[in-house]
Amino acid sequence: MRKRRLRKYFRVFVLLLLLSAVVYALYLNVNKDNTVVSVGDYAPNFSLETLQGERVELKDYRGKGVFLNFWGTWCKPCKVEMPYMEEEYKKFKEQGVEILAVNIEESDLIVQNFVDRYGLTFPILMDRGGAVTGQYKIGPIPTTYLIDENGKVLKIITGNMNQESVREYMKLIKPS
């Protein structure tokens, strides 16, 4: 009789434990931030380090057009568009356009070799933990956010760009 009662209490305890786990999982899903950065939204601020260890915040670029590019060294379209971005950056930097290239969770050495190989001069930001990539809900790369001088997202581009499209996008975000 006593064994039966103990078994019953144990089953009730396990059932309550499972029920608590289900309720907790549902609570987390309901309260999870599912916001996606869309055209017309203000770009969420973030802070990342450059390859040189300098801290960069997006809000520090207010007043400039920002070409926010998420990329990786292993990404073939990224390899194609980076030289185009560099060439147009040299033309548009003095006109108030800045490129912030956010590398997604790669080592400094690999990224530095890539930067040296392509002669990149724009800021390379290191998203070591993937927090900014998650904040912007980045899926396929390359993904580029075109942000105006007020911090508003004007356009989101997924996939590679050619030199002409990079030029046109920089014209779009050039401050008036």
pLDDT in tens, 131-170: 999 999 999 999 999 999 999 999 999 999 999 999 999 9
How far does CA 158 lie from the centroid of its chain?
12
In this structure, what DSSP letter does residue 136 have? T
Co-location of 26 and 110 in the same domain: no
The domain tally of the chain equals 2
Please indicate, yes or no, if residue 160 is contained in any of the structural domains: yes
Residue 30 CA to its chain's centroid (Å): 23
H-state helical runs in 67-127: 76-92, 108-118
Tokens coding 170: 């920089």
pTM score: 0.80
User: Within this chain, do residues 6 and 69 fall inside the same structural domain, yes or no?
Assistant: no
21 shares its domain with 84:
no
| Same domain, yes or no: 113 and 156 | yes
What per-residue confidence (pLDDT) applies to 31?
A: 44
Confidence of residue 36 (pLDDT cuts 50, 70, 90): confident
Strand duo 65-71 + 97-104: pairing = parallel
Residue 150 within any structural domain of the chain: yes
* pLDDT given at position 121: 97
Q: Which H/E stretch holds residue 152?
A: none
Q: Which of 152, 156, 86, 163 is nearest to 119 (CA)?
A: 86
| Whether residue 110 sits in one domain with residue 53 | yes
Which of these, 129, 61, 46, lies nearest to 99 by C-alpha position? 61
Inside any domain, residue 146:
yes
